[in-house]
Amino acid sequence: MICTIDGKLLAITDSLPGARHDAYAFRVHGLERYLDDTTLAGKGYVGLGLLTPVKRRSGVKMPKAVKDNNRVINGLRSVVERVIGNIKTWRVLHTGFRRPLDVYGRVFAVVRGLIFFAAGYPL
């Protein structure tokens, strides 16, 4: 999912089969063509050239400046997390899918279209 810092939803990519890491999905969907080193992202995207919080290493105390920087990044990203939470109000996106798996792609596409339609975005 990609959205602006003010909460405008820009894209929701197709889901991938199985349990996949965020960075894997980022690469598979080719999202690097839309984003640059000023793009805010979560810790799941470390190493992809995006602006992410610094991960704390086990047994190493994090300097105050790094903590402060992480706090600023996380504060700005809170808007994104709210957009994600809003999308997950669609039950089909946050619970176990109980229909045949071969129809999931179509159901997901319909829900994605409805999300953009309800938000008043052009499809």
Q: 62 is written with which tokens?
A: 């994090």
Kindly give, in sequence order, each residue whose CB lies less than 8 Å from that of residue 70, ignoring residues fewer than 6 positions away: 53, 54, 62
**How many Cβ atoms are within 10 Å of 78's Cβ, its own excluded?**
9
Tell me whether residue 85 is in a domain: yes
Tell me whether residue 123 is in a domain: no
**How many Cβ atoms are within 10 Å of 83's Cβ, its own excluded?**
20
Separation between Cα atoms, residue 121 and residue 75, nearest integer Å: 26
Helix, coil or strand: residue 50: coil
Tell me whether residue 94 is in a domain: yes
Check residue 62 and give its pLDDT: 92
Considering its fold, how many domains does the chain have in total? 1
Check residue 123 and give its pLDDT: 57
Q: pLDDT 10s digit of each residue in the chain, 123 long?
A: 888 888 888 888 888 888 888 889 899 999 888 888 888 888 888 888 888 999 888 899 999 999 999 999 999 888 888 888 888 887 777 777 777 777 888 888 888 888 888 877 665
